[in-house]
Amino acid sequence: MNSYLRHIICFFSFFIILFIINKESNASEITNSYYKTSIVSKPKSRPINLIFNHFKKVYISNPVSRPNPESIFPISTNNIKQFIQKETGAFTKNIKIFYLNNGDNLGKILRKAKIKNEEIDLISKSLSSKLNLRRLQIGTLFKVAYDKDLSPVGVKVRTFKNTEKNLYFDYYVLRATDDNHWYTIKAIRPVQLKLEYRRNVITDSLYKSAKMVLIPEDKLNEFVKVMSFTIDFQREVRSGDKFEILYEKSLDTLTGNETPNGKLIFSGMILSNKHIGYYRFVNKDGEVGWYDRDGKSAQRTLMRTPLNSAKISSKFGYRKHPITGYNAMHRGIDFSVPTGTPIFAAGDGRIEKSGWNGNYGKYIRIRHNSIYKTAYGHLSKIRKNAFNGKFVKQGEIIGYVGSTGRSTGPHLHYEILVNNKKVNPLTVILPSTKNIKIDEIDEFKKQVKHIEKIIGNSIKPEFAELYN
């Protein structure tokens, strides 16, 4: 009997153990199942990169409003269309491209893109969390994407930061699909910087000679601006003169494509065997300037030519007036350029007159300091930012060439006034701006020596004597 009871007890004990094990196993399965379900149905507001195919499908088919805010993207995401579709599920065909010019800001760019003010406020607020909008560089690229109804769905902003790791950044500002909110993603892309040295002899024109040695147009334009403070390209540059340029070539290491963000490092010309060269230098305050070997600034208080690619059609002095036919004093310089050509503020200063001014037509006058003023006549259009009392920076666009007032064709009439007396803009002596500070001159000299070593290893014999 005792043996029989023992067998019964063992039999029931076995089934009790099996039931407990099975219960625990089922509980584990339920728990895991619930955990998976909760991840799928309730994605985090800022999901991490999803690895498993199961998660990936859910991520694509049910786009979330807050994707990973900062990552290194593969080659495929270089295309804003693909990126928007990947992150939000939205599809776009319409892309418009804009570049930041002098006097522009994010708001002006987005208004050009036909984006409503309330959307601009949301985009600006989102983007400002990742990027200092007050320090956007001239030439910053903007790509604006629209849906089939021409409503904006994404904005790509490309900036550049030259660090030890050589990175540049793409900022994607996207509209969320669920709550019409805008959010910003910072994409980090590595670049490789190479120094490119180019030189040539001017045969026909500077532009053609530069094109022959494959100098990028943006670098040539910057070169002309730097040298224009010292050189009158209309009167002083002749066939047989030489030029040289050292600049950064920036390559996207993921795509192999060249990016437009490399910097101009050195600008030089040889005019009648006289060498003129300027070196880029960033001071401790982060200000960029151009200086000769001794640390004297290339930049002058005023620009002699406040526009690009200008041809002088009438000089300062007595001339036969093109309308009246009488000899009269022409107290400025006329630059013959097409209507709509941008006009730059010749120097920092405050606008003291903006509007119609008799024979001058649409007119602007800027007071730069207690001594110098500049005036601009016959404009086709005055920019909205160029109003009376407005402070403008040197190089900022203030208006556009036209033929208003007493004029026979599109041109800019440009005047420089010294103590309220009109003087010849081509011959007046203009003071330099700030030279290299004493406590930074040693660092500047080191950079000059390094640049000249690079150039010296790349030059032709006709340049050799400059770097011995």
Instruction: Give 309-321 pLDDT, tens digit per residue.
Output: 667 877 877 666 5
* Half-sphere CA count of 143, side-chain side, radius 13 A: 18
Residues contacting residue 133 through CB under 8 Å, at least 6 positions apart: 105, 106, 124, 127
Do 61-189 and 192-301+433-467 come out as alike in CATH topology?
Answer: yes
* Half-sphere CA count of 411, side-chain side, radius 13 A: 17
* Cβ atoms of 258 and 249 closer than 8 Å: yes
* Cβ atoms of 466 and 275 closer than 8 Å: yes
pTM exceeds 0.85: no
Distance of CA 95 to the CA centre of its chain: 19
* Cβ atoms of 365 and 351 closer than 8 Å: yes
What is the pLDDT averaged over residues 126-150? 83
Cα distances (Å, whole numbers) of residue 426 to 230, 235, 320, 419: 10, 10, 20, 17
What pLDDT sits at residue 57? 29
Question: Residue 236 pLDDT more than 70?
Answer: yes
What pLDDT sits at residue 286? 77
Q: Which residue has the higher pLDDT, 233 or 296?
A: 296
Q: Which residue has the higher pLDDT, 33 or 92?
A: 92
Query: Which CATH number is correct for 192-301+433-467, 3.40.190.10, 3.30.70.590, 3.60.20.10, 3.10.450.350?
Result: 3.10.450.350
Give me the amino acid identity at 439: D
What pLDDT sits at residue 19? 55
- Say if strands 372-382 and 362-367 run parallel, antiparallel, or are unpaired: antiparallel
Question: Residue 51 pLDDT more than 60?
Answer: no
What is the pLDDT averaged over residues 43-55? 32
Question: Residue 387 pLDDT more than 80?
Answer: yes
* Dist. CA 149–CA 90, nearest whole Å: 12
What is the pLDDT averaged over residues 191-214? 86
* Dist. CA 168–CA 188, nearest whole Å: 6
Q: What is the largest distance, in Å, between two alpha-carbon atoms of the chain?
A: 145
Token pair, residue 53, equals 């195919």
Spell out the domain ranges in the chain: 61-189, 192-301+433-467, 311-423
* Dist. CA 229–CA 226, nearest whole Å: 6
How wide is the angle at C-alpha 72 spanned by C-alphas 70 and 78, nearest 5°?
110
- Say if strands 182-201 and 70-71 run parallel, antiparallel, or are unpaired: parallel
* Half-sphere CA count of 210, side-chain side, radius 13 A: 20
Q: How confident is the model at residue 344 (pLDDT cuts 50, 70, 90)?
A: very high
* Dist. CA 199–CA 329, nearest whole Å: 42
Place of tokens 């910087």: 193
What pLDDT sits at residue 459? 55
Distance, first Cα to last Cα, the chain? 117
Query: Which CATH number is correct for 311-423, 3.40.640.10, 3.90.1150.10, 3.30.460.10, 2.70.70.10?
Result: 2.70.70.10
Give me the amino acid identity at 368: H
What is the pLDDT averaged over residues 69-80? 55
* Cβ atoms of 445 and 279 closer than 8 Å: no
Out of 64-78, 338-352, 359-373, 395-409, least confident range: 64-78
Place of tokens 């011959």: 427
Q: Which residue has the higher pLDDT, 28 or 199?
A: 199
Token pair, residue 233, equals 């390209």
* Dist. CA 362–CA 400, nearest whole Å: 10
What is the pLDDT averaged over residues 82-104? 79
Q: What is the dihedral of CA 362, 367, 371, 377, to 10 degrees?
A: -10
What pLDDT sits at residue 42? 30
H runs (alpha helix) in 42-116: 53-61, 80-88, 106-112
Which of 89-98, 242-251, 413-422, 430-439 has the highest mean predicted lDDT (pLDDT)?
A: 413-422
**The CATH fold of domain 61-189:** Nuclear Transport Factor 2; Chain: A, (3.10.450)
What is the pLDDT averaged over residues 385-401? 91
What is the pLDDT averaged over residues 244-260? 79
* Dist. CA 127–CA 138, nearest whole Å: 18
Q: How confident is the model at residue 35 (pLDDT cuts 50, 70, 90)?
A: very low
Q: How confident is the model at residue 34 (pLDDT cuts 50, 70, 90)?
A: very low
H runs (alpha helix) in 186-259: 206-212, 217-228
- Say if strands 317-320 and 327-330 run parallel, antiparallel, or are unpaired: antiparallel
Percent of the chain exceeding pLDDT 70 equals: 74
Report which of 181, 134, 131 is spatially closest to residue 153, judged by C-alpha positions: 181
Residues contacting residue 285 through CB under 8 Å, at least 6 positions apart: none
* Dist. CA 401–CA 355, nearest whole Å: 14
Question: Residue 388 pLDDT more than 90?
Answer: yes
What pLDDT sits at residue 231? 82
Question: Residue 62 pLDDT more than 90?
Answer: no
Token pair, residue 261, equals 């963000």
